[in-house]
Amino acid sequence: MFKRILVPTDLTDRTLKALNIALKIAVHDGASITLLHVIETIEDTEEDFSGFYSKLGKAAEKKMNGIIEDFRVDGPPIAKEIIYGKRVREIIRFAGEKEIDLIVLSSHRVDVDNAVQGWGTISYKVGILSPCPVLLVK
With H, G, I as helix, E, B as strand and everything else as coil, classify residue 2. Answer: coil
Q: Is 30 left (phi over 0), alpha (psi -120 to 50) or beta?
A: left
Alpha-carbon distance 86 to 117, whole Å? 20
CATH code of 4-137, in short, is 3.40.50.620
Quote the pLDDT of residue 23: 94
pLDDT in tens, the chain (138 residues): 899 999 999 999 989 999 999 999 999 999 999 999 999 999 888 888 999 999 999 999 999 999 999 887 767 889 999 999 999 999 999 999 999 999 999 987 766 676 566 567 899 899 999 999 999 998
Query: What 8-state DSSP symbol labels residue 132?
Result: S
pTM of the complete model:
0.92
Cβ atoms of residues 111 and 118 within 8 Å: yes
Alpha-carbon distance 32 to 76, whole Å? 6
Quote the pLDDT of residue 67: 93
Quote the pLDDT of residue 116: 63
